[in-house]
Amino acid sequence: MEYLKIVILSLSSLLLIFVGIMRLSKPIETYLKNSGIKLENDASLLNEMRGVSAVMLFAGLSTLLGIFITKLSFTSHFVAMLIFIGFAIGRLISLKADGKPSKQISQGIVFELVLGLANVFCLISIW
């Protein structure tokens, strides 16, 4: 079971760190390439995008710490669960309110649900 928790934390942290860094450093290119979303070169919009990206990056870093510091593993799973389930719920609400998104975003919902639920599973087993 311990190995499974490490794998789940590793996948969660790597995804959050990678996406956080890419969207923080190159939001216009990253959104277009990974989501098919064309962002305008608007300072306010980019500020919002980079803000969310920094949250993802730091959530990934805190999730990564749980692999190495066992006292933080509960907190790491909890942070990862909040981020992934939070994004998935927001996207599902948008799906109902706004219609079907692109294929890439639809695939993202699946990954977010899987990783979110995997972290919930780990939280239950720790508790």
Measure the CA–CA gap between 85 and 107, rounded to whole angstroms.
14
Percent of the chain with pLDDT over 90: 85
Residue 98: CA atoms inside 13 Å, Cβ hemisphere, count? 8
Q: 11, 115 in Cβ contact below 8 A?
A: yes
pTM: 0.91
- Report pLDDT digits (tens) over 24-78: 999 999 888 878 888 888 999 999 999 999 999 999 999 999 999 999 999 999 9
Q: Judge whether residue 110 has pLDDT over 90.
A: yes
CA dihedral 27, 28, 30, 34 (to 10 degrees): 130
Q: Residue 84: which H helix or E strand, with range?
A: helix 73-98
Q: 112, 91 in Cβ contact below 8 A?
A: yes
